Amino acid sequence: MILAIHLNNYAHAWWPDWLVRMPTVFDFRRLAELFPTLKRGGAGGTVFQLRIYFTVVAIGYFVASDVSFSMGIGPVLWCYVAGLLLGYGIPTGGGGFYTANIEKMSRAGAYFGIFAMILYTGRHYYANVLRRALGLKARDEVEPRSVWGARVFMLCAGLFTANLVLAGLDWPFAVFYTTAAVVMFVVMGRIIAETGLFFIQPFWYPGVILVGFLGARAVGPSTALLMFLMSTILLLDPREALMPFVVNSFKLLEVRKVRMGRAAVWTGAAVILGLAVAVPVTLMFQHGSGTGGSDPWATTNVPGRAFDGSIKIKQRLKAQGTLEDAESARGFSRFTRLRPEGIPEPEAGLLRHDRRRHARRSDPGRRGRGLLPRHRRAAEGLSHHAGLSAPLPPPRARTARGASGP
């Protein structure tokens, strides 16, 4: 039946006067007017515009019912929450790829929560593996492949962190970035292995999380740019990353009771062979034909995202007068400048308050302007009782936009 639908729609493209196309897209966006909260949350162009993917429907039969239900109801619930918050003036998204917002922070929190649950569930096993990897005695027997896997992981994680430090990142940020990257790929691999969902997009980035929690002044535009560039290379689009696919393959081998050690050796050999072939061939084609022909998104839009995010941070710090202070911060001194995103700088607020108070004191003609009628009458009575000869100035006329006139 599915083949007949696709063949009919393909033939309709050639003979539209003789055949009727069978729709696979159903537009219910008019019904979104009945659900204003969902519409504000972005459901108008997503939830109410249904597109049938027969492959996804087929895969839905192979995953658990609660997983399919979660994938179906999740977007609807998120649109409702986003619309509810937006109704109170609290946007959940926007600002670009490398902007801290509620959506990215919520996704990161979910990933760290699942990772903490994984660590807690397997805490005894992981502790034994760690002790054996460090050459200590363990209470329970551990497979040699797990021990060597832990040793290789610690070595590679240390080298990656050292590489970030050599690139100019402070070591606390380098450690956090490495940890966040591990959290992302471990949770993705766990979700794919346990649920069968093979196409996942985390859409959160370690540098954005640091800017969100510590604030732009503590991180600084140069450090943010370094982390954004690293995320552009490694974490921008991990839905097609290697590790989740490998974890899924190992899960299938475990279900089929195939020896994992030999499969891991052959997997490593396949990865090395693939890189040895893919890297020079890719460089050859890019050198001969250029890079902007087939995928303008990857060659034009993606490279500029990191610079756009850091420029926004730099311009904001410059407007606040804290750019030099943010750029001079190093090491743990950054934490003395901690101010999470969304919390205004107290110096800026006090400065605006002092300017308004100084303006009121230096300009007696401003006394009483902008008061409500009953407050104005009370002020006039107090000034007359105190013996002041000059009455309060007349209130300003309101313009069409509500601003005070001359």
In a domain, 243, yes or no: yes
pLDDT digits (tens, 9 = 90+) for 267-278: 889 989 999 999
Q: Looking at the predicted structure, is the pLDDT value of residue 71 above 90?
A: no
Domain for residue 322, yes or no?
yes
pLDDT value of residue 357: 52
Query: Does residue 185 share a domain with residue 103?
Result: yes
> Domain check: are 111 and 251 in the same one?
yes
Can you give the residue range of the structural domain that contains 255?
A: 97-286+299-343
Domain boundary among 92, 118, 141: 92
pLDDT tens-digit readout, 227-243: 999 999 899 888 878 88
State the Cα torsion 211-213-219-224 to the nearest 10°.
-20
Q: What is the pLDDT of residues 316-329, one digit of tens each?
A: 999 989 899 888 88
Strand partners, 26: 50
Same domain, 88 and 183: no
Does the pLDDT value for residue 294 go beyond 90? no
Domain contains 393: no
Q: Mind listing the pLDDT tens digit for each residue in 1-59?
A: 889 999 999 999 999 999 999 999 998 988 889 999 999 988 877 888 888 888 888 88
Q: Are residues 360 and 306 located together in one domain of the fold?
A: no
In a shared domain, residues 41 and 86: yes
Q: Output the six-digit token pair for 218.
A: 């503590």
Which pLDDT does position 406 carry in this prediction? 38
User: Is there a contact between 398 and 404 (Cβ–Cβ < 8 Å)?
Assistant: yes
pLDDT at 170: 92
321, 281: one domain = yes
Q: How confident is the model at residue 336 (pLDDT cuts 50, 70, 90)?
A: confident
Token pair recorded at residue 366: 């401003």
Please report, in angstroms and rounded to a whole number, the separation of the first and last CA atoms in the chain. 75
* Average predicted confidence (pLDDT) for the chain: 82
Asked which of 67, 92, 117 is the last residue of a domain, the reply is: 92
Is 404's pLDDT higher than 80? no
Give the integer Cα–Cα distance in Å for 138 and 130: 9
Label residue 394 by pLDDT band (50, 70, 90).
low
Query: Which residues partner with 50 through β-bridges?
Result: 26
Between 195 and 361, residue with greater pLDDT:
195
Residue 405 is assigned to a structural domain of this protein:
no
Residues 318 and 373 in one domain: no
Q: What is the reported pLDDT for 343?
A: 61
Over residues 248-258, the pLDDT tens digits come to 888 888 888 88
309 and 368 belong to one structural domain: no
Helix (H, G, I), strand (E, B) or coil at 61: coil
Coil/strand/helix, residue 79: helix
User: What would the two tokens of residue 285 be?
Assistant: 């084609």
User: Quick one: tokens of 185?
Assistant: 């790929």
Higher pLDDT, 172 or 398: 172
The CA distance from 56 to 45, in Å, is: 20
pTM: predicted TM-score of the whole model, two decimal places: 0.77
Task: Write down the pLDDT at residue 402.
Answer: 43
Write the CA distances from 388 to 368, 370, 372, 385, 394, integer angstroms: 14, 20, 21, 8, 16
H or E element: which one contains 25? strand 25-27
How many domains does the chain contain in total? 3
Give yes or no for residue 159 having a pLDDT over 80.
yes
Percent of the chain having pLDDT more than 70?
A: 83
What single letter denotes the amino acid at residue 264? A
User: Are residues 113 and 86 part of one domain?
Assistant: no
pLDDT score at 356: 52
pLDDT of residue 104: 92
The answer on 197 and 106 residing in a single domain is: yes
Task: Look at 354 and 277; give whichever has higher pLDDT.
Answer: 277
Residue 289 has pLDDT above 70, yes or no: yes
Same-domain status, 51 and 130: no
User: Which pLDDT score, from 0 to 100, does residue 96 have?
Assistant: 82
pLDDT at 372 over 50: no
Same domain for 24 and 86, yes or no, is yes
Q: Which two tokens stand for residue 212?
A: 């969100």
